[in-house]
Amino acid sequence: MDQPPQSLPAYPPLADRGALLAELERLIGAAWDSFDRPRLEEPGLGRELEQRLAQPLPEHGTDPQAALADAARVLDESNSPARPLYLGYVGSTGLEVGVLGAALAATYDVNLAATARAADLVEAQALQWVAQLIGFPLSEGAFTSGGMTSNMTALLVAREHALPGSRAQGFDGTKAAVYCSEEAHHSVVRAAEAAGIGERGVRKLPIDAQRRVRPADVAEAIVADRGAGFTPIAVVANGGTTLTGSVDPLGGLADVCADTGVWLHVDGAYGLPAAATRRARDLFAGLERVDSVTLDAHKWLGIQKGCSVVLVREAGALERSFGHEESYIRRTGTVNLVERTLEYSRPINSLKLWLALRTHGAAEFRRWIEHTLELAAELTRRVREDAEFELLHEPQLSTVCFRHTPDGVADLDAHNAALADAAQRDGRVFLADAVVDGNRCLRVCFVNFRTRTEDVTFALEALRALGRDLS
Ligand SMILES: Cc1ncc(COP(=O)(O)O)c(C=O)c1O
């Protein structure tokens, strides 16, 4: 058979790689510079670029420099959690060293489904480092694309623990249940749906004055369910709720789970990094007794998406749930990582975190997380002292829900929804509204290490001015 001529490869490398890499370096550097301070206004896309974004598929290639420039413009005009006043949802920092890890990982594009050789070691070390950071007795774990997948992975492990063989025999989830607080993230419901338990099987238990589930309620629900012929699959505790950052009492829940033999999972996608700090550590007392945890490094550890971990205390639990051998996946004595996760083809997302932990060290991460906790405490103090704002809950971590209550505004729900809209249009402070105990409010979450103490004042005053314009 004729060989293709060596001088004309079927896939030509990019012309002028050096110039493109230099341009990429310039674009990334400009973005990093712009993340150092809050931006006073959004740049806008411009009509010409908007028109280009509506064009059909190009049949022939175009200038990569021009495409790169458009891509950078689009991203610069998009909501980026790396900006210091992105305070909506649960953001991140987009640590600079993570960008280097992402670029290297994409360059080599290793696949962690089958063993990728040396890359497996980075994955394993990064899992150990996360466990050491938060004080969890890890036996095994996996990197996943996000908190949803980590929670789902843990629930499938819990299912196999509660009903051994259910993964092979099939699972009639009509008589199974999962226990969590009414403020658990919806991913718990979605995971229950996907695991065959269904939303119907999710017992959303009421919260106490500190917005935490009561262990006694969980124990009672488990006993009642067992009496009615249900199999309890797992208790899913909040390691920081999305709405207010509340942490369920892990020690009390661990007692209940030890007494009843039910799997205890902690959804710490957002909040679990706080367990590494002196300031918040006590909230997580009992963590060493839980069976599995979810932690999103792409939230409070500042790593780029997607980078989540599911950590498990018992050795062999993941393989019991996902292990298999196939003739098309070579086994070479070591376990293929696909036997410990739900996903198949998987990028080396751990590399970003591994590089960040190695470059900055645990002490720096602890200091950064403490700083964001202090930002929330500072905002809480200011809101409490300000007659024009009202605090809607007692913050435990770095999330604060409050509302603007100027004189003369009759419908505070409508006013605060309009204020969140105005803030998003204005662009200086990015936040979203939320509802706490039936009250529409402004919700901010401090997880960005770039946010400075003076930014709290700036954000509050910007919100006050926008709110006054509306009232
Ligand atoms: C507590 C909690 N669990 C799970 C998730 C889902 O995580 P992800 O978006 O990474 O899938 C979130 C997202 O904000 C969360 O706050």
- Span 95-146, pLDDT tens digits: 999 999 999 999 999 999 988 899 999 999 999 999 999 999 999 999 999 9
Give residue-wise pLDDT tens across range 56-79. Answer: 999 999 999 999 999 999 999 999
Average pLDDT over residues 359-374: 98
User: Mean per-residue pLDDT for 444-462?
Assistant: 97
**373-382, pLDDT tens digit by residue?**
999 999 999 9
pLDDT at residue 172 in the model? 86
- DSSP strand pairing (292-296 vs 176-181): unpaired
Domain range annotation of the chain: 100-358
The dihedral built from the CA positions of residue 297, 239, 321 and 197, taken in this order, carries a sign that is: negative
Residues 4-42 have pLDDT tens digits of: 556 667 887 888 999 999 999 999 999 999 999 888 888
Q: Which atom of ligand 1 is nearest to the CA of 90?
A: 14
194-211 tens-digit pLDDT: 999 999 999 999 999 999
Report the pLDDT value the prediction gives residue 40, as an integer from 0 to 100.
83
The CATH classification of domain 100-358, taken from the options 3.40.640.10, 3.20.20.70, 3.40.50.170, 2.60.120.650: 3.40.640.10
Angle at 209 between CA 300 and CA 460, to 5 degrees: 50
Measured from the Cβ of residue 286, the count of other Cβ atoms closer than 10 Å reads 18
The mean pLDDT of the chain is 95
Number of CB atoms found within 10 A of residue 318's CB: 27
* Residue 186 pLDDT > 60: yes
In degrees, rounded to 5, the angle at the alpha carbon of residue 70 between the alpha carbons of residues 68 and 72 is: 70
191 exposed, middle or buried (CB, 10 Å; 0-12, 13-18, 19+)? buried
For residue 177, how far is its CA from the centre of ligand 1 (angstroms)?
A: 21
Global pTM?
Answer: 0.96
State which of 148, 295, 398 you would mutate to test the pocket of ligand 1, scoring each by most atoms of that ligand within 8 A of its C-beta. 148
**What is the structure's pLDDT at 2?**
62
Higher pLDDT, 390 or 37: 390
209: helix, strand or coil: coil
Give the pLDDT confidence score for residue 52 in this predicted structure. 97
Tell whether the model's pLDDT for residue 247 goes beyond 70.
yes
Residue of 86, 87, 89, 90 with the most ligand 1 atoms within 8 Å of its CB, for mutation: 90
Look at 35-44, 151-160, 344-353, 434-443 and tell me which has the smallest mean pLDDT.
Answer: 35-44
To which residue do tokens 């200086």 refer?
428
Ligand 1 atom at minimum distance from 298 CA: 10
Pocket of ligand 1 (CB under 6 A): 90, 146-148, 185, 187, 242, 267, 269-270, 296, 308
Given the CA of residue 89, which atom of ligand 1 is nearest to it? Answer: 14
Contact between 353 and 332 (Cβ < 8 Å):
no
Q: In percent, how much of the chain has pLDDT > 70?
A: 98
In the predicted structure, residue 273 carries a pLDDT above the cut 80: yes
